[in-house]
Structures are given as C-alpha cells and as structure tokens.
Structure 1
Amino acid sequence: MHKRSIEFQVVRPRRLYEQVADHVRELVLDGTFPPGSALPPERELAEIIGVSRPSIREALIALEVMGLVESRQGGGNYVRADAGGLRMIPLSKGRDLGPGPIEQFEARRTIELTCAKLAAQRATPEDVLDLEQCLVRMKDLVARDVSPAAEHRCFHMTLANISQNQIFASAVAELWRVRDGKLWDTLRQKVDNKESWQLGIKFRAQLIHAIRNGNPAAAVAIMSDHFDRIGELYFGLAPQSDKTSREE
C-alpha cells in the first residue's frame, strides 16, 4: 500500500488594505477607472468602496508600490497610463508587502508610549546622555539638509532599551525593521521634509527634558502628541491624546 504525500499550503488571512487594493484593481480592469484617468478623492473613494479613508490611503500606497497607481505632484492619484499592459495579479496572491502601515503605527504607538513612561522612571544620567547625543547628530544632519531617518530609528531604539524591558525593546526593533519596507518608504516620500524634521527635533528635545526630570506623565503626553501629529500627517487619523493628563 502506497502512502500518498500531501502538500499543505499555508494561506494567510487577507489584510484589509489588500482587499481594498484588489477592489480598486478590479475597477481598473472593468473600465470604471481606465488607464491614465484620475481616481476620485480619497474621501469619495472611501464612500464608493465602503471603508475608512485611512484604509483607502493604505491601499493606494500599496497600488503605487505595485506600479498600478501614481501620485502626481500637486495632488491626486491616477491610474498609470501603461496600466493596461501590466500583469495585474491580485495583491493578496502576489508580492507580500507585509502588515499595513496603520497596523504598524498602532502597535508602535501602544508600545512606545509605555517605553517613554518606563524610561522616565528608570533612566540613568548615562541613558539621558545617549539620547542627547542622538539628538545632536540629528540636528547636524538637518542643518546639512540630510534626512535624519537613521537617527530617528536610533533614538526610538535607545528609548526602548532604556525602558529595561527586553520584550518591548525587541518589539520596537521589529516594528522599525518592517518600517524599512516599500509601503513606508513610499509613504515617507510624500511627507518627509525639513519642516517635519524640525518638528521631530522639537519633540525629542521635550521628551529628553521629561525623562531627565523623571516625569513619566509628561513623557507619555509628549510621546502621545508626537504620534497624534504623525497619525494625522501620514494617515489623516484623529488625535487620541488626552491633553489634561499632562503634568509638567
């Protein structure tokens, strides 16, 4: 009696942004949005498909990475003129772009607020000096009109390590690793500029001040404000901060 070998294929759940992206892809294929045409504004497209505006933004970023959609200077998203000749495989069956940026953002916000609180409770003078040196390097890069992206990561990783919680530190490291993927890279190009860098420097200086003074409530409030700004800038998300909780 021969045993027949059976191959199992693991099927991962379809992410929401993949489902939305595939829906837009189908609208291109059926001629609703032909090659070269402008897509409706995000708010209108969200109403057409029946999802939130941030989910539309994630899907459009994915379609831009896949080469179906292009974002033009001056605003607006367009179906690429050569879309008719592209091999448009459903996103969930083709290249895996990983968890959506909003999912990653939500995880980072939750973990890094706790890291900020613990850092303010546990930081040594040497830890504060490490953060200050990172900030000095960031200021130098921005003064030379060079993106401080590498120092952004260094600052957040240093903060996570100061929390003295290895699980949080490992999670932050992984979240920043996936942040180097194509989805975030495409998204970052749309909003990364000197003004944003300066705001990032201001946030870090305030956070260092709270940590140096051993003020966990202020550290959490400052970090929360930072994530509010990033969430609105990148995804149009409403602020979540409770301003009354801050203690200076």
Structure 2
Amino acid sequence: MNKRSIELKVVRPRRLYEQIADHVRELVLNGTFPPGSALPPERELAEIIGVSRPSIREALIALEVMGLVESRQGGGNYVRTDAGILRMIPLAGGRDLGPGPIEQFEARRVIELACVKLAAQRATEEDVRNLEDCLDRMRDLIERNASPADEHRYFHTMLASISQNQIFASTVAELWRVRSGELWDTLRQKVDNAESWRLGIEFRAHLINAIRDRDSAAAVAVMSNHFNRIGELYFGLLPEPDEANREV
C-alpha cells in the first residue's frame, strides 16, 4: 500500500477588516460600485454592511493597500478606474497584512499606559536624560521638515524598557515592529504633518515632566490623552475617560 503524503495547511481565523474588505470587493465585481465610482461615506457604508465605522476605515485602508480603492485629496474613497483589470484576490487568499491597525492600537493603549505608570515610579536620572535627548532629536528633525518616525518609535520602546518589565518591553517592541507595515504606512500618509508632529512634541515634553516628578497619575493622564487624540485622528474613535480618574 502506497502511503501518500498529506499536505496540511493551517487556516487562520479571518479578521473582521478582511471580511469587510472582501464584501466591498464583491460589490465592485457585481457592479454595485463600478470602476471609477465613489464609495458611500464611511458612516453610510458602515450602516449598509452593519459594522462599526472604525472597522470600515480599516477595511478601506486594506483595499487601498491592495490596489482596489484610492483615497483622493479633498475627501472620499473611489474604486480605481483600472479595477476591472486588477487581479483582485480576496484578502483571505492573498498576502497577510497582519492584525488590523485598530486591534494593534487597542493593545498599545492598554500596555503603554501600564508601562508609563511603572516608568514614572522607576525611572532613573539617566533614563530621563535619555528621553530628553530623544525629544531634542525629534525637535531637530521637525525643524528640518524631516519625519521623526524613527525617534517616535525609539521614545515609546524606551519608555517600555524604563518600566523594568521585560514582558511589557518585548510586547511593545513587537507592536511597534508590526506598526511599520503597509496598513500603518497608508494611515500615516493621511495624517502625518507638521501640526501632528508639533502636538507629538508637546505630549512628550509633558510626559517627561511627569516622569521626572515621579507623578505616575499625571504620566498616565498625559499618555491617555495622547491615545485619545491619536484614536480620534486615525480612526474616528471616541475619546475614552482619563485613565487617572478611573476607579480601580
């Protein structure tokens, strides 16, 4: 009896944004949204499909990365005019773009708030100087109209290291690694500008002051406000209550 080798393929659960993106793709293929046409606004599209508006935003970003949808200056998402000749493979059968940006953002919010609380309690004078040096480098880059993205990442991973919790530090490093993927690149192109960089500098300056003062409640409040601003800017998420004022 001949034994045949059986190839096993691991099938991962489909992420929500992938399911939504494939649904929109089908609407393009069946002519509901023909090439060159405008897609409904995010809020309306969310109602049509029956999902949240942030989930729609994630799906549209994925479709933009895959080359089916384009976001035009001045607002609005459009089916690309060459969509009919594109090899539009469902996301489940194509490349894996990784966890959705909102899922990553939610994880970062929880973990980095915990990190900054510990950092305010455990930071040394050298740690504070290193954070200040990083902030100075960011200011210098912005003055030269250069992106401070690398220093941005370094600042957050350094905060996690200052917490002196190796699990937090390694998790934050991994979250920032996946943040360099195509979905986030597309997002950043929509919101990165001199004003957002300026607000980022202000946030970090306030945070460093709270850490220097060993005021963990203030540090958590500053970080929470930062995540509220980023969540609303990137995803239209409603601000969450100040973490420092929540009951434990």
Give the TM-score band, short-chain normalised: over 0.9
| Contact 1:28 1:34 (C-alpha < 8 Å) held by counterparts | yes
| Contact 1:120 1:212 (C-alpha < 8 Å) held by counterparts | yes
Aligned letter for 2:43? R
- Residue correspondences, number: 246
Structure 1 residue aligned with 2:118: 118
Deviations 1:74-101 (A, max 9, x none): 0000000000001111011101100000
Structure 2 residue aligned with 1:97: 97
Deviations 1:173-217 (A, max 9, x none): 100000000000000000000000000000000000000000111
Structure 2 residue aligned with 1:223: 223
| Contact 2:68 2:83 (C-alpha < 8 Å) held by counterparts | yes
* Cα root mean square deviation, aligned: 1.1
| Contact 2:217 2:244 (C-alpha < 8 Å) held by counterparts | no
Aligned letter for 1:110? V
Structure 2 residue aligned with 1:236: 236
Deviations 1:105-156 (A, max 9, x none): 0000010000000000000000000000000000111111111001100100
Alignment gaps of 5+ in structure 2: none
Q: Distance in 1 between matches of 2:131 and 2:61?
A: 33
Equivalent pairs: percent with the same residue?
Answer: 80
**What TM-score does the superposition give when structure 1 sets the normalisation length?**
0.97
Aligned letter for 1:220? V
Q: Distance in 1 between matches of 2:11 and 2:173?
A: 27
Alignment of 1:162-177 (within 5 A): 162-177=162-177
Alignment gaps of 5+ in structure 1: none
| Contact 1:69 1:77 (C-alpha < 8 Å) held by counterparts | yes
Q: Distance in 1 between matches of 2:100 and 2:202?
A: 28
Q: CA deviation at 1:6?
A: 1.5
Q: CA deviation at 1:243?
A: 7.1
Q: CA deviation at 1:66?
A: 0.3
Q: Distance in 2 between matches of 1:131 and 1:14?
A: 39
Q: CA deviation at 1:4?
A: 2.8
Aligned letter for 2:81? A
- For residue 111 of structure 1, give the secondary structure of its aligned residue in structure 2: helix
Structure 1 residue aligned with 2:137: 137
Structure 2 residue aligned with 1:182: 182
- For residue 112 of structure 1, give the secondary structure of its aligned residue in structure 2: helix
Instruction: Provide closer, same or farther for how the CA distance between residues 137 and 244 of structure 1 changes in structure 2, counting only shifts above 3 A.
Output: closer
Aligned letter for 1:6? I
Aligned letter for 1:48? I
List structure 1 runs of 4+ shifted beyond 6 angstroms: none
